[in-house]
């Protein structure tokens, strides 16, 4: 796992979202690039500001790590959560494997036909574009922020006997708003105990 600047992740993701030339994205300041990404994909990219500060890493997903991935977070019963009742990428692939693609597309709003098409053509060259994953410090699971269609296509291909190809990914780890105040309180408590023991 290699640490990378958050700006690298933002620019790579923005390049997939927009048809702009790469030069025009590179010309943006880090703040403008983040603003542009949030304008293109406000829901999935919201963790970049909501969980700040975010530390990003580049890694290659093992099969075990890939199998534990969850779909992008969202309201229960809508879009990816409707497609995957258990919230996992594998759950979405299983539902597609046992369902009617057109009916699932109507019910969930996810383009299941596109996933089916990707699953039949997936190869080692298909996995060059990194997935963007998000999590919080001390939390599980890793959620796919960008690349749900591609990840689900790989899971579907593997389900149908295809070979898993280790997938490159950016893992973005945000602050945990529950753990941070707790750890600060614990450190404060130990500090007070230490001070009290010195005064006695």
- Per-residue model confidence as pLDDT tens for the chain (200 residues): 999 999 999 999 999 998 766 778 999 999 999 999 999 999 999 999 999 999 999 999 999 999 999 999 888 889 999 999 899 999 999 999 999 999 999 999 999 999 999 999 887 666 788 999 999 998 889 999 999 999 999 999 999 999 999 999 999 999 987 655 555 554 555 555 566 556 55
Structure confidence at residue 187 (pLDDT): 59
Question: What is the spatial distance between Cα 184 and Cα 173, in angstroms, rounded to a whole number?
Answer: 19
Q: Which residues contact 179 (CB under 8 A, 6 or more apart)?
A: 136, 137, 138
Helices (H), 84-147: 89-98, 101-108, 112-121
- At 15 the pLDDT is 93
Phi-psi region of 192 (alpha: psi -120 to 50; beta: other; left: phi over 0): alpha
- What pTM did the predictor assign? 0.85
User: Which pLDDT score, from 0 to 100, does residue 200 have?
Assistant: 58
Instruction: Sketch the domain layout of the chain as residue ranges.
Output: 2-199
Q: Is 130 helix (H, G, I), strand (E, B) or coil?
A: coil
Q: How far is CA 194 from CA 47, 188, 189, 190, 198, in A?
A: 37, 10, 9, 6, 6
Q: What is the dihedral of CA 69, 74, 76, 77, to 10 degrees?
A: -90
pLDDT for the residue 10: 97
pLDDT on residue 142: 97
């Amino acid at each position: 796992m290699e640490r990378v600047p958050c700006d690298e992740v933002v620019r790579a993701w923005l390049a997939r979202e927009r048809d702009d030339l790469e030069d025009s994205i590179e010309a943006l300041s880090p703040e403008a690039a983040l603003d542009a990404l949030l304008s293109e994909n406000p829901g999935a990219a919201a963790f970049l500001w909501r969980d700040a500060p975010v530390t990003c890493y580049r890694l290659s997903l093992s099969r075990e790590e890939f199998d534990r991935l969850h779909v992008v977070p969202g309201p229960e019963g809508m879009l990816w959560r409707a497609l995957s009742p258990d919230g996992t990428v594998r759950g979405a692939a299983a539902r597609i494997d046992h369902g009617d693609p057109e009916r699932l597309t109507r019910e969930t709003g996810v383009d299941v036909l596109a996933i089916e098409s990707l699953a039949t053509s997936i190869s080692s060259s298909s996995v060059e574009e990194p997935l963007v994953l998000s999590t919080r410090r001390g939390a599980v699971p890793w959620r796919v922020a960008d690349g749900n269609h591609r990840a689900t296509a790989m899971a579907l291909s593997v389900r149908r006997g295809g070979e898993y190809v280790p997938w490159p990914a950016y893992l973005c780890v945000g602050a945990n708003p529950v753990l941070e105040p707790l750890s600060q309180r614990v450190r404060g408590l130990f500090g007070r105990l230490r001070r009290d023991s010195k005064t006695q």
